Each structure stands twice: as structure tokens, then as C-alpha cells.
Amino acid sequence: MSASLPPPVESPRARRIAHLDMDAFYASVELLRYPELRGQPVVIGGMSVHAPVTQEDGSRQYARLRDYVGRGVVTTSTYEARALGVFSAMGIMKAAKLAPDAILLPVDFDAYRHYSRLFKQAVADIAPHIENRGIDEIYIDLSEHAEETLALATRIKTAVQQATGLSCSIGIAPNKLLAKICSDLEKPNGLTILTQADIVTRIWPLPARKINGIGPRAAEKLTALGLNTIEELAAADAAVLHEHFGRSYADWLGRVAQGIDERPVVTYSEPKSVSRETTFESNLHAKRDREALSGIFTRLCERVAGDLQRKGFVGRTVGIKLRFTDFRIVTRDLTLPTYTDDAVAIRQAAGECLKRIPLDQPFRLLGVRIGTLAKKGAEPVGGPVVMQGELFRESADSK
């Protein structure tokens, strides 16, 4: 089957959109501190017990997949491990069958967040029209830049490398949909520039699931209909798509198969945290005013959750602040295993924080805060498997 419609010209004024994605991001950050592992199959996904042990002679002893017992999943892997069939989301014990000698390292989100900020800042110094899409990827609107595409993209890649020591892959195309597909075409360390005229040769032969928004279930349904490639999708009978996917998704499928996507690059300045606090009319005492305090506390958490939901964010670090009558301020925080915008989860975590403050004196102010924010739906996924009874990983008290 071959599609007959030529790809249309998208808009009167062609845009130039880049999608930048870091290569094997978590693994590459780990290799910065363990450079002797370069070139080896390495899997990220262990717990702290899998951290390397430094020997007396200064060398390090690493955990190997073959010794792993547990239900954890691979968060990411180096390209050397991928060559052995080990990919994100695979069970580590399954991965151990494919690559028993591969090295296992624990996840360290703080380090990845640090490098995430560094690479985004390096790009922003050159091209500030950025949309954050998660810990290791961004869209950049380059339409307003005069510089020629290849030179500009090369300059961005070099800046990221210099700021972080890490490589990335960039795809540049007339829209976000194509740029996202494109950044993956020549990974790692790729630089792919695609014009409207390249859609037929470079995009249409790809499997339909390469389109961001065609998930595994939709891809399976398309396969069952005999629609495997994007070209086949472009040539598909619109009525058949309507019947199987509903009108709006079917219309979207038709458009994306043609490489059409008008979504703008949305720049927003990310809030670092969301917080609410309350000063009491009279001093409250934890024991005497237990019930009133509990109600106030719950309402604060509900308002924080409401703020998050309205802004479309989720957060992981929940903190509380108390000001005692002598104006002493005490804070406690802890980091949840997963991102949340749920009032009950925030209330529970804030309650744990409160337990860690000696409450023998009356206080005047109570505040609840949530930090480590991510755009809902673009939060880093995976992460360590959290065992029951290990609900909270405590983080250092904040100031």
C-alpha cells in the first residue's frame, strides 16, 4: 500500500523547531563519576545497596546484574547494554539473563536533576524559547534565529557538552511532532535536520508507534488493521480509522501521518515550589488544640494540592514550616517515591514531617510546601521500586 496524498505545506510561515534529548541520560551522568565504566554495559535501576564499594587499593567494586534479586526495573541502560537487549522498564532479573556481567548502579535523582538544570541553562543561553518536556528533553523554537540551522544546532550541542560533559541528540523540523521523531533517528550524539520534503523518505517508512501519542495499545490496534508504517497510516481509509478510534483521535492520526502539527512551543517559567501558610489568631498548642490544628493542616494541604492541579504540576518533596511564639522557625521535609498532586498524599507526608518536630511549645504559623515539581504527564518516570513499609525516603531538612 502506498499513500497518495502529498504532504501539504504546513503554514504560510515555516517554523524551525528543535527537539533535544540527552543520550542515555541517567547512565551518562553516572559515567561522569565512574569514567572507568565507559564502553561497558551498565544498567541504572538499583537501590543504594548496589552502590560501588571502594576497595583498600582505591579501586571500585561494582554490583553485577547476575547477583541481583528483587523486583526492580531498569530505569535506563548504556548503549552497550542496549546492544545486549537491555532497555528501560525491563525487569532487572530478566535483564540479568541477557547481560549477566553488566554493571548495576543505583538511581540518584538529585544528580540527574542537577545535570538537567545545567543542560537546560546552557541551551537557554543560546536559544531561550524553550519548552520543558521532562528531565532530559526540551523543545526549542529557533524560528526567530537568523543563524543557519546546522551551525546553530552544532553550537547548541557543543554548549551542552561543555556545560555537562554529556552528549545529546537534536532533531530539527518544521514542527514539534516531526522534531521529536527526528531527534531519535540518529541517536546517540545525533543531529538530524528534516524538511517538509523529507517526510516521504524519512518519516513514512517508520513504524506508526514512533509518533509521540500513538501508544502501545493504539499501535497494536493499527497493526491488527494492517497499518504498520506511518505511510500506511497516511493512506488509510478515514472511515475505517473513525470506526476503530473515534472521530477526534482518527482525525489526529490522519493529520500526524501527514506530518501536520501546529502546536506552539510553550515557554513557561516553572514554579520551583507551591506553598500555603496560615498565621493563627491565637497561639496553638499541638496537644491542647490537636483537633483544630488537624483541620487547619488538612485544609492547607488541600489548598496546596488545588494550586498544583490548577497549574498542572505534580511534586515530590513535601515540607512544613512552623513558627513558634518566640519567632523560631523550624522546617522539615521529605521526598516521596512518586510525584503527586493529591491532597491526601500531601497531608500524609506533611503529617510525617510534623512528627519530627518537638511540639512542646505553642506556635503561631503553620505552612505546607511542595517542591521538586514537574509538569504533570512529563514527570520523570520509572524510578526505584519502593518496598512496602518504606513509604518515605527522608531528605535533609531544608532551611
Binding site for ligand TTP (CB under 6 A): 21-26, 75-76, 88-89, 135-136, 187-188, 380-383
The full 3-state SS of 259-283, as one line of letters, equals: CCCCCCCCCCCCCCCEEEEEEEEEE
User: Cβ of residue 338: shortest distance to ligand TTP, in angstroms?
Assistant: 11
Residue 116 binding: pick among ligand TTP, Mg ion, none (C-beta 5-8 Å cut-off by kind): none
Q: What is the DSSP string of 354-385?
A: HHTS---S-EEEEEEEEEEEEETT-S----PP
Query: Is 232 an active-site residue?
Result: no
Measured CA to CA in angstroms, residue 373 lies from 147, 285, 335 at distances of 34, 32, 11
Cβ count within 10 A of residue 365: 16
Q: Is the peptide bond before 188 cis (omega within 30 degrees of 0)?
A: yes
Q: What is the rounded CA–CA span in Å between residue 259 and residue 9?
A: 10
Beta-ladder partners of 138: 20, 132
Report helix, strand or coil for 78.
coil
User: Which residue lies nearer to ligand TTP by CB, 133 or 347?
Assistant: 133
Comparison of 183 and 317: residue with beta carbon closer to Mg ion: 183
Question: Three cell numbers at 39?
Answer: 564502553
CA distance 246 to 61: 55
Q: Which residues are annotated as a binding site for Mg(2+)?
A: 21, 136
In order, the DSSP letters of 208-275 are GGGSTT--HHHHHHHHHTT--BHHHHHTS-HHHHHHHH-HHHHHHHHHHHTT---PPP---PPPS-EE
Residue 10 or 23 with smaller CB distance to ligand TTP: 23
Cell numbers that stand for 335 in this block: 521526598
The count of chain residues that interact with Mg ion, using the rule CB under 5 A, is 5
Beta bridge partners of 279: 365
Does 131 sit near Mg ion (CB under 5 A)? Answer: no
Among 30, 80, 131, 136, binds Mg ion (CB under 5 A): 136
Which of the residues 137 through 166 are near Mg ion (CB under 5 A)?
137
The active-site residue out of 30, 80, 131, 137 is: 137
Does 135 engage in binding with Mg ion (CB under 5 A)? no
Q: How far is the CB of 173 from ligand TTP (least distance, A)?
A: 17
Q: By CB under 5 A, what part of segment 229-288 binds Mg ion? A: none
Nearer to ligand TTP, 195 or 338 (CB): 338
The amino acid sitting at 176 is K
For the CB of residue 112, give the shortest distance to Mg ion in the complex, in Å.
Answer: 11
Binding mask 80-119 for Mg ion (x = CB under 5 A): ----------------------------------------
Residues 24-83 that bind Mg ion (CB under 5 A): 25
User: Which residues define the annotated binding site?
Assistant: 21, 136
Contact of residue 341 among Mg ion, ligand TTP, none (CB under 5-8 Å per partner type):
none
Considering beta carbons, is residue 100 or 188 the nearer one to ligand TTP? 188
State in angstroms the smallest separation of the CB of 160 from Mg ion.
12
Residues that bind Mg ion (CB under 5 A): 21-22, 25, 136-137
Active site residues per annotation: 137
